[in-house]
Amino acid sequence: MDSIVSFAQNHTVIVIVLALGLLLFMYRKPKLFFGILFLGLFLVGLYYMITSMAGSGSEQKKRMIPQEEKQSDNNRSSLFG
């Protein structure tokens, strides 16, 4: 979200042109505009869900790796000790 805001602050002309283009598109062809809008919202939601699931999975993997190393060290010490 911060990257979108910083892009809008740094490139105000591009954001204004895009907003005017979207308003014109909504005025001329509202059915197509809302279809594309809902498709975009669906894709953004899908992207958010995938990235949030991947983030939690990678955090769980990071927690599991030290546990596996401790278990393998314990198994080695019991075999050779």
pLDDT digits (tens, 9 = 90+) for 29-66: 999 889 888 998 899 889 888 888 877 666 666 777 66
Residue 33 contacts residue 22 (beta carbons within 8 Å): yes
What does the pLDDT look like over 20-30, one tens digit per residue? Answer: 988 888 889 99
DSSP state of 1: -
The pTM for the full model equals 0.51
How many angstroms separate the CA atoms of 42 and 68, rounded? Answer: 39
